[in-house]
Amino acid sequence: MRIALLTEGGYPYPDGDSVVWCDRLVRGLADHEFEVYALGRGERQREGAWPPLPGNVRRVRTAPLWGPVPAADGRRGRHRYGRRERRRFGEHFAELAAAVCAEPGSEGAASQADRFAEGLHGLADLARERGGLPAALRSEQAVRLLESACRAPGALRAVRAAVPADLLTVTEQFERLLRPLSADWYGGPGKPAGPAHRRGSGLAAADVCHAVGAGPAALPGLLAGRLFGTPLLVTEYGARLREHCLTSAAHAVAPDAVGAPVRALLAAFHARLAHEVYRRAELITSGNAHTRSWQLRGGADRDRLRTVHPGTDASPFTGIEEDGGQRRPDPLLVWTGRIEPARDLVCLLHAFAEVRRTVPGARLLIAERPGGPGAASGRTPEAEAYLAHCRALAAQLFPDEAAGPHSVGDNPVCFARIGDPEAPRLPDAYAAADVAVLSSVVEGFPVPLVEAMLSGRATVSTDVGAVYEAVGGTGLVVPPRNPRALAAACAALLGDPARRARLGAAARARALELFTAERNVAAFRGIYLELLSHRPEPAGRPTGARPFARPPEAHLPGHWAGPGTGRPVRRPSWARTSSGPAAVPAGASAGPREGRR
């Protein structure tokens, strides 16, 4: 089977989103062929900027969503349109802009969705015929059409105050987001080639399009489905629609606020695009119930939604011995993750100060995971500033305590990076822990929490994202931004070794049952086969070139024929009688007859 993997700012780039999951999926399905169609988000994600890929990745095609307008392709036509093309572009872009600018519910959700789809697919047809859209999307015509949509009755309140600078910014962003429509990825019908008799090239030869997200990455899948009937599978492990809504906050900002029209228009575009992707996809998978709820809010059909939890490689953690339920004089709390404000280490430090009053010998290890683009240290400037703030707060809350006048004091909080002597490997950090802590205020699927569960450690977590879904009843969950509740839960587990051991054993059993990489890969193997089995056999493709193209009885020995073929249906030997005929005319019943009374 040939899978077209559609990504945005992720695989195969090493510093992108969903890289680990995509790489695990591709390597786990070694019997399938993958072609990667990647959209790059920045200069770091350029052509060829990825490590060696598995052998079943046959080809990687890239298109940048950054940088200048792509140059015209002389083989497919010019980007500069004539009068007829400009008129077509104006009609389609006006429909798309009107749907983006419209207040939700002003004309009915179905009508707005249809207008957006009509404009989007009309632009796609124009790009396919004329070779590209970039110049037209950045033209004065596009700016004037967008301005008219913003001033039309029923437009969003936040976009009515858009000024020319806002309109220019939005049209520039639209051009970047719609670049996949102008890519030369789609190909077309061709002669059968190779032992698999594959027809066409590019996305025309794919059996399934698998988009990682319902954003611009899914646009090639929409076109492949419309042109070639290729089924589209959408997988989301984070609520991208929620991120766009939080970034824009169009409902909460004043209409005259700086940048409010831009944020409102971009958020509305992403919402319309996600709705169209959800409407056209054959199946939509989410990594957790939290993401599933946002998919439903975005217009996804409940009958086409499935939850497939992201898998974690359990082998490094299952070798860790479970908590024996022993009380230690210096119990250790362990936090692991990327240091950033969303992880709320400030709350954790204040909570640990409360824990020290109840358990005087307790210690805290903050183990930072390496990775992430930014400074030479691997941290972004924002992360560097936040880490410095947390170190200063720890020094203030826990001044070094010396046992005597001539000894050196020791701070109970240790900041380390995975690979340092304090935490040589990630499993070593969990192995040393009595309780694993997660203090985030924003979280998707909590991978560090699942790793702690696989390690057999009791956990204390804040109730954000999919935390409660992952933990179930195997750990303590407290409200976010509540140091007292976090401290009380940590102190309760540190003071009850038997309960801590029970929760750790239950957590490991739950994680092994639900959150392993093998379970994730097996789920997508079954989904691929299901989508392929429901896809009609393309005309002209040799019989047997695709699984499920022949019915099961075609593999039985003998000559079988259906009604209308003019050929006899041969009865199997066990159905024949001494006086009955060996064959019956096609279309007649070949089963046993009712006897005479």
Contact 65/176 with Cβ under 8 angstroms?
A: yes
In a domain, 122, yes or no: no
In a domain, 335, yes or no: yes
- CA distance from start to end of the chain: 56
Closest to 428 (Cα-Cα) out of 316, 327, 578: 316
Out of 286-290, 300-304, 499-503, 554-558, pick the least confident. Answer: 554-558
Query: Residues 300-307: what's their mean pLDDT?
Result: 94
Out of 75-84, 148-157, 199-208, 220-229, pick the least confident. Answer: 75-84
How many percent of the chain have pLDDT more than 90? 58
pLDDT of 422: 77
Residues 6+ apart with CB under 8 A from 501: 322, 323, 324, 325, 458
Q: What is the pLDDT of residues 419-454, one digit of tens each?
A: 888 788 999 999 999 999 999 998 888 999 999 999
In a domain, 130, yes or no: no
In angstroms, the CA 77 to CA 102 distance is 34
Q: Domains in the chain: how many in total?
A: 3
- pLDDT beyond 60 at 124: yes
In a domain, 297, yes or no: yes
- Judge residue 319's burial from the number of C-beta atoms within 10 Å of its C-beta, 0-12 exposed, 13-18 middle, 19 or more buried: exposed
Query: Residues 456-477: what's their mean pLDDT?
Result: 94
Out of 227-236, 239-248, 358-367, 461-470, pick the least confident. Answer: 239-248
Residues 562 and 545 in one domain: no
- pLDDT beyond 60 at 575: no
3-state class of 6 per DSSP? strand
Query: Residues 192-201: what's their mean pLDDT?
Result: 45
Residues 491 and 436 in one domain: yes
Residues 475 and 540 in one domain: no
In a domain, 567, yes or no: yes
Residues 443 and 543 in one domain: no
Out of 5-19, 104-118, 158-172, 509-523, pick the least confident. Answer: 104-118
Residues 581 and 478 in one domain: no
Residues 510 and 469 in one domain: yes
Closest to 62 (Cα-Cα) out of 23, 8, 141: 8
- pLDDT beyond 50 at 525: yes
Residues 468 and 523 in one domain: no
Contact 134/178 with Cβ under 8 angstroms?
A: no
pLDDT of 109: 63
Last residue in a domain, options 462, 493, 514:
514
Return the residue matching tokens 């600018």: 101
Residues 62 and 206 in one domain: yes
- pLDDT beyond 70 at 561: no
pLDDT of 38: 93
Q: For residue 363, what is the domain's CATH number? A: 3.40.50.2000
For residue 309, report the phi and psi dihedrals to the nearest 5 degrees: -65, 140
If one compares 224 and 195, the residue with the highest pLDDT of the two is: 224
Residues 463 and 389 in one domain: yes
Closest to 348 (Cα-Cα) out of 500, 474, 480, 466: 480
- pLDDT beyond 60 at 341: yes
Residues 497 and 447 in one domain: yes
pLDDT of 76: 46
If one compares 293 and 543, the residue with the highest pLDDT of the two is: 293
Contact 552/348 with Cβ under 8 angstroms?
A: no
Closest to 295 (Cα-Cα) out of 241, 218, 375, 243: 241
In angstroms, the CA 487 to CA 352 distance is 6
pLDDT of 432: 93
- Length of the chain equals 597
pLDDT tier at 589 (50, 70, 90 boundaries)?
Answer: very low
In a domain, 118, yes or no: no
Supply the DSSP string of 425-441, one letter for each residue.
Answer: SHHHHHHH-SEEEE--S
pLDDT of 423: 80
| Structural domain that includes position 367 | 315-514
Query: Residues 75-84: what's their mean pLDDT?
Result: 64
State pTM to two decimals.
0.81
Out of 179-193, 240-254, 299-313, pick the least confident. Answer: 240-254
- pLDDT beyond 60 at 130: yes
How many percent of the chain have pLDDT more than 70? 79
Phi-psi region of 278 (alpha: psi -120 to 50; beta: other; left: phi over 0): alpha
pLDDT of 382: 87
- pLDDT beyond 70 at 566: no
pLDDT of 420: 84
In angstroms, the CA 512 to CA 566 distance is 57
Residues 489 and 567 in one domain: no
Q: What integer best gives the mean pLDDT of the chain?
A: 83
- pLDDT beyond 60 at 257: no
pLDDT of 547: 56
In a domain, 25, yes or no: yes
Residues 454 and 569 in one domain: no
Closest to 61 (Cα-Cα) out of 233, 274, 205, 253: 205
In a domain, 154, yes or no: no
Which ranges of 437-495 would DSSP assign to H, the alpha helix? 447-454, 467-471, 483-494
